[in-house]
Structure 1
Amino acid sequence: MINYKGAPMIETKRLILRKMEMNDANRMFDVIFSDHRVMDNLIKGPHKTISETINRLTEITKQYVSDKFCYWGIVLKESGELIGTIDLYNINEDTENCEVGYDIGFNWWNQGYGTEALHAVVEFAFRFMNIHKISATHGIDNPASGKIMLKVGMKREGIIRDMIRKNNQYKDCGIYGILQQEYLEMNLPNQISILNKIE
């Protein structure tokens, strides 16, 4: 049975994962939602105006009233800068499985922040929510995202052909997954935990 906890604040060595706020709109537009390098990997593509970002944040913040909504902003602990987002979605109560998605601003790529945030949310989902399996996908033209998934213990399960369509072009996606039992067997014997604190 899933233990829903919403989106509590999660602290790791370098990051704080926290709920998004409406005053994050300008920052999100500038470093993530308007940047084609980040958003081209997502189906909807980059935002053209700040109003699109405001609308998206309005949708997000309204859903925090539900403890089934698991969506965080990724913040650098040292500077307080918001650099990305991560969420658990498509949570299926019958299978107790879900998916995870994330995006990191371009200026913070290749510094391990995506791996650290994903590892934290995977650990949170397995240890505190009792999720059975977490899956993630990435366009095959974005192999760096797949590397992040492998680093947290996910296994590549295959390729889904023509999984998404963007700009009238279909894209294949790699699909990855990790089971709760696999995660616990990898991490608990050595008492390895990436989470410093959960509030």
Structure 2
Amino acid sequence: MIIYYGTPAIETERLLLGKFTLTDTQAAFDHWLSDDRVSDNRVSAAHQSVSETRERMNRILSDYESEEFCYWAIKLKESGELIGEIDIYDIEEATGNCEVSYSLGYRWWNKGYGTEALKAVVEFGFRHMNLHKISAAHNTDNPASGRIMSKAGMVQEGTIRDMIRNSKRQYKDCAVYGILQEDYLNKNGEAGRFLIKVCFTAR
């Protein structure tokens, strides 16, 4: 059975994962949502105005009312700077399976932050939510994202041709990755619990 906690605060060695606030709007726009280098790896087009980002942020804030909504802002622990986002979505009650996606601002690529955030969310999903399987996908022309998935323990399960069509109406093949709770726990045992610190609020 899946156990829902909404979007609790998660602390890793270098990162703080938590809920977005409306004050994050400008930084989200500046750091990744308006950047074509990031949007090329997303389905949605780069935002052209901060009002688009504000509208998106308001939807996220409204969805936090549901305990089934898991959507984190990624911030640097040392400075509090907003650098990206990560979420668990398409959670299936019948199977316990779900998907995860993430985006980081270009300035913070290749610094290990994506791997650190994904490892934390995978651990949270398996150890606290009792999920059965976590899946993710990346465009095959973005192999760096696949390395993040591999470092988080995911294995490539195949490639789906023309899986998405991006904002430029270009079809993209995607490599699909996954990890099972059983495999994660067998590999990590009790040691994984020290990877993250999760702060739950009273329910």
TM bucket (normalised to shorter chain) is over 0.9
| 1:85-164 matched pairs, under 5 angstroms | 85-164=85-164
The code of the aligned residue for 1:62 comes to S
**Within 2, Cα distance between the matches of 1:102 and 1:28?**
13
Per-residue CA deviations over 1:52-86 (Å, capped at 9, x if unaligned) read 10011011000001000000000100000010000
TM-score in terms of structure 1 length: 0.97
CA contact (8 A) 2:8 2:198 kept: no
| 2:45 aligned partner | 45
**Within 2, Cα distance between the matches of 1:188 and 1:145?**
26
CA contact (8 A) 1:13 1:196 kept: no
CA contact (8 A) 1:27 1:82 kept: yes
**Within 1, Cα distance between the matches of 2:40 and 2:59?**
21
Alignment of 1:58 with 2:55, yes or no, is: no
Per-residue CA deviations over 1:168-196 (Å, capped at 9, x if unaligned) read 22110000000001111111154563103
Q: How many positions carry a matched residue from both structures?
A: 199
Cα separation, partners in 2 of 1:143 and 1:177, compared to 1, 3 Å: same
TM-score in terms of structure 2 length: 0.95
**Within 2, Cα distance between the matches of 1:139 and 1:193?**
32
Of 188-197 and 9-18, deviating more is: 188-197
The code of the aligned residue for 1:134 comes to I
Identity percentage of aligned residues: 56
| 1:63-74 matched pairs, under 5 angstroms | 63-74=63-74
**Within 1, Cα distance between the matches of 2:90 and 2:140?**
21
Aligned Cα root-mean-square deviation (Å): 1.0
| 2:197 aligned partner | 196
1:197 deviates by: 3.8
**Within 2, Cα distance between the matches of 1:186 and 1:54?**
41
**Within 2, Cα distance between the matches of 1:197 and 1:5?**
11
| 2:34 aligned partner | 34
Give every structure 1 segment of 4 or more consecutive aligned residues whose post-TM-superposition deviation is greater than 3 Å.
189-193
Of 186-195 and 170-179, deviating more is: 186-195
The code of the aligned residue for 1:3 comes to I
CA contact (8 A) 1:187 1:193 kept: no
Per-residue CA deviations over 1:35-59 (Å, capped at 9, x if unaligned) read 1111110011210110110011011
Cα separation, partners in 2 of 1:48 and 1:194, compared to 1, 3 Å: same
The code of the aligned residue for 1:105 comes to G
| 2:188 aligned partner | 187
| 1:172 aligned partner | 173
Per-residue CA deviations over 1:144-168 (Å, capped at 9, x if unaligned) read 0000000011000000011011222
| 1:79 aligned partner | 79
